[in-house]
């Protein structure tokens, strides 16, 4: 049982532009024969990106290929603070369009960098350290029944400031250090929820 305070970091959404990564880019799809969990992985590590909406943000997420993007300012702040658990790489920007008209907007989406999360935690546990039920084959948590839990933790953590759990695909967890850097600089489109108070809804 780990007593370090962790936060889920996610998009605030409210009116900000949205990222989508075209499903037409080369990828593999694997399905777990036991739980039916679907795993989509890209073949080219450089992700293709499209944005929709006028309001620019400092952070974007798309779940299809598990993509976390940050603005140059946010990346710079993470680097200056010595945040660990990721590396950054360029993206293959396709287009930025208006949500209502579908017209192209003159916004350069290539300035956003992907942060590839390398930090790792263990399995998702309840607050007593018991593992949440998961698929024996692929490890994925079983969403059915999760609604009865309030508050979570993890049974292992490599000490990185940004990390993924073994069996909660794409969900970004961060330390207080990350939250402080982001809150202090008022970066846009990011919200934090304490993992120990999180509830599936």
Tell me the window of 74-82, 96-104, 132-140, 173-181 that interacts with Zn ion (CB under 5 A): 132-140
Give a three-class secondary structure readout of 7-56.
Answer: EEEECCCCCCCEEECCCCCCEEEEECCCCCCEEEEECCCCCEEEEECCCC
> Should residue 50 be labelled a site residue for Zn ion when binding is judged by CB under 5 A?
no
Q: Quote the least distance from Cβ 100 to Zn ion, whole Å.
A: 40
Phi and psi torsions of 2, nearest 5°: -105, 130
Query: In the complex, what is the shortest distance from the CB of residue 57 to Zn ion, in angstroms, rounded to a whole number?
Result: 33
Contact with Zn ion (CB under 5 A) among 18, 132, 138, 146: 138
Site string for Zn ion, 10-49 (x = CB under 5 A): ----------------------x-xx-x------------
DSSP letter for each residue of 79-132: HHTT--SEEEE--EEEEEE-TTT--B----GGG-EEEEE--BB--EE-TTSPBP
**Cβ proximity of 180 and 78 under 8 Å:** no
Q: Does 119 bind Zn ion (CB under 5 A)?
A: no
Comparison of 139 and 194: residue with beta carbon closer to Zn ion:
139
Residue 163 near residue 122 (C-beta atoms within 8 A): no
Least Å distance, CB 165 to Zn ion, is 15
Based on the shown chain and the rule CB under 5 A, indicate whether residue 81 belongs to the binding site for Zn ion.
no
Shortest CB 23 distance to Zn ion, Å = 22
Interacting residue ranges for Zn ion, rule: CB under 5 A: 32, 34-35, 37, 135, 137-138
């Amino acid at each position: 049982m780990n007593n370090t305070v962790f936060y889920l970091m996610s998009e605030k959404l409210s009116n900000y532009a949205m990222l989508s990564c075209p499903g037409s880019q080369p990828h593999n799809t694997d399905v777990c024969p036991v739980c039916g969990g679907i795993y989509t992985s890209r073949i080219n590590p450089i992700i293709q990106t499209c944005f929709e909406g006028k309001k620019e943000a400092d952070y974007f997420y798309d779940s299809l290929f598990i993509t976390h993007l940050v603005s140059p300012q946010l990346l710079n702040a993470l680097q200056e603070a010595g945040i660990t658990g990721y590396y950054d790489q360029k993206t293959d920007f396709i287009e930025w369009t208006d949500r209502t008209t579908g017209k192209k907007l003159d916004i350069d989406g290539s300035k956003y960098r992907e942060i590839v999360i390398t930090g790792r935690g263990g399995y998702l546990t309840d607050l007593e350290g018991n593992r949440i039920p998961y698929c024996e084959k692929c490890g994925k948590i079983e969403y059915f029944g999760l609604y009865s839990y309030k508050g979570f933790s993890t049974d292992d953590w490599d000490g990185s400031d940004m990390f993924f759990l073994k069996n909660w695909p794409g969900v970004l967890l961060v330390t207080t250090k990350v939250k402080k850097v982001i809150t202090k600089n008022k970066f846009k489109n990011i919200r934090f929820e304490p993992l120990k108070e999180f509830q599936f809804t």
